[in-house]
Amino acid sequence: MFTTLSLRLRVFLFFCLVAFASVALAAGALAFGWSRGPADLPAGPFITAFIAFAFLNTGFALGIWLLFDENMAKPITRLSADLRLRAHSGVECEVDTQAARYLGDLAPAASALSETMSSAVMDTAAEVARETQRLKAESERLTALLTEIPIATILLNPAQEIVLYDAQAADVLSQIAPPRLKAPLADYFETSAITEAMAQLTAQITEVPLGLTATTGSEEFEARLKSLGDGSHMLLIEVDATGDKVVAQRPLVFDFDLMTAGETREISETALRDLCFVPFDTETTGLSVEADAIIQIGAVRVLNGRIVEGEILDTYVDPGCAIPPASTKIHRISDADVAGAPDIGNAGRRFHHFARDAVLVAHNAPFDIGLLRKSQDEIGVEWDHPVLDTVLLSAVVFGITEDHSLDALCERLSVTLPEQDRHTALGDARATAQALVRLLPLLEAKGVRTFGDVVEATKKHGRLLQDMNA
């Protein structure tokens, strides 16, 4: 039982035990002395002495505990967090030897060991970086080549989930809903024609033409379905090659780890790295969930512990009212910026599709989730997604006494948060995503490996923020 408590709480309980034991011993000694005296010996002086001792002893124990907590327990907790950062998140943070000056040689020894290990890791990382750069260059060349071909390419795994899409396909999918990896193809197209085409595929017939109808019913596309022989398929969609090539700015988006569809489990039993996360942020007309409205939504997606480059949602929202000048000073969004933007109904539905089958992640989630849930009727959806709050995740990893603001968390995790992106929905969403990616291995190292584990761990810090999974 006591092993699940934090070090600082266990130390506090130890000093409480010492204080209680001292008072109990003093009470026993005074009672024994009184009992050995004459029969008419008054008990009043003994009781007064006991009360005085109890107060003085408790104060003394509390003072010693405060000194021990400040100079021993706190530095040990901070040193542990620094070592976990370097070991599990690759964050190059210096061990604070000054804060741990009363721990003897522990901090310098930990720093030396960490630096020795880091040098070996850095050599490996440099080699990985060179290989990554080569693969990135090849991906860019492939992207440029596919963009010039008037055919949208979508790769599907055996579960008919999207594993890869090129710039042309991103343009097609965007006409229906925000494109996203691991999304079932049925989220975008009617499945009847696809099922019929699959039935026609054989060992000899590996490609079948078909007509695709968008789930919205307003778009139709000529396409071909090609079997790849391992249960996966390639969907090739004819596109108009004469249009403006704004899609050329989109990268080739893929994750071949999705080729093998994972076993479906209850979310509480699902490993954190197997979950899809959508870190997001909102900018608003003010700080009241009840009285204020959303004016900007920004979101990114995290799959397999990595941020999916190219999958973002960034939109202004027309709040239907004037934006107070005091709010504009913070987020720099004016009435002119939101003029002509979609209302919360349209923007909310698009974001809801972007976050389908995902865990929503926000910094100070009760505020952002509260605004979305307040607008459920207007949007026409239910925000019943599982939710993680990076404030609570920070408390689990670094302890409740640390600063858990987004700026402090980013600084602690070596996440760059450009000033021009601060207090923009997409900028803060990206910072939250980077923080999440670096927090995941730290949580796993502390034995918090599944979504159920993280919910239980964050419940211990419920006095910080409301649990949005209730």
Six-digit token string for 268: 């509480």
231 & 331 share domain: no
Residue 196, domain extent: 149-256
157 & 55 share domain: no
- Of the candidates 412, 413, 432, the one whose C-alpha atom is nearest the C-alpha of residue 421 is 432
Query: Can you give the CATH number for the domain in which 348 is found?
Result: 3.30.420.10
416 & 441 share domain: yes
Predicted pLDDT of residue 432: 97
234 & 278 share domain: no
230 & 286 share domain: no
Six-digit token string for 396: 């689990």
Tell whether the model's pLDDT for residue 245 goes beyond 50: no
Q: Is residue 337 part of a domain?
A: yes
- Total domains in the fold of the chain: 3
| pLDDT-derived band at 400, boundaries 50, 70, 90 | confident
322 & 377 share domain: yes
Predicted pLDDT of residue 189: 95
Tell whether the model's pLDDT for residue 276 goes beyond 80: yes
Q: Is residue 140 part of a domain?
A: no
Q: Are strands 306-316 and 359-362 parallel, antiparallel or unpaired?
A: unpaired
DSSP label of 313 = E
Tell whether the model's pLDDT for residue 41 goes beyond 90: no
DSSP label of 251 = P
175 & 29 share domain: no
Tell whether the model's pLDDT for residue 314 goes beyond 90: yes
320 & 415 share domain: yes
Q: What percent of the chain has pLDDT over 70?
A: 85
Q: Is residue 171 part of a domain?
A: yes
222 & 283 share domain: no
> What single-letter amino acid sits at 359?
V
| pLDDT-derived band at 246, boundaries 50, 70, 90 | very low
Tell whether the model's pLDDT for residue 383 goes beyond 90: yes
Q: Taking a C-beta distance cutoff of 8 angstroms, is the pair 400, 78 a contact?
A: no
172 & 221 share domain: yes
Q: Which of 69, 102, 118 is the last residue of a domain?
A: 118
Place of tokens 């035990």: 17
CA distance linking residue 166 with residue 189, whole number of Å? 17
122: Cβ–Cβ under 8 A, 6 or more apart, which residues?
none
43: Cβ–Cβ under 8 A, 6 or more apart, which residues?
34
The predicted model gives 447-457 an average pLDDT of 93
What pLDDT digit, counting tens, does each position of 74-119 carry?
888 877 777 777 767 666 666 666 667 777 767 677 666 666 666 6
What pLDDT digit, counting tens, does each position of 352-378 carry?
999 999 999 999 999 999 999 999 999
Tell whether the model's pLDDT for residue 4 goes beyond 50: yes
Q: What percent of the chain has pLDDT over 90?
A: 50
Q: Is residue 139 part of a domain?
A: no
Predicted pLDDT of residue 309: 87
Tell whether the model's pLDDT for residue 180 goes beyond 90: yes
CA atoms within 13 A on the CB side of 253: 30
- Of the candidates 354, 140, 138, 154, the one whose C-alpha atom is nearest the C-alpha of residue 248 is 140
What pLDDT digit, counting tens, does each position of 113-167 carry?
666 666 655 566 567 667 767 777 766 676 666 666 788 999 999 999 999 998 8
Tell whether the model's pLDDT for residue 456 goes beyond 60: yes
| pLDDT-derived band at 249, boundaries 50, 70, 90 | low
Q: What pTM did the predictor assign?
A: 0.77
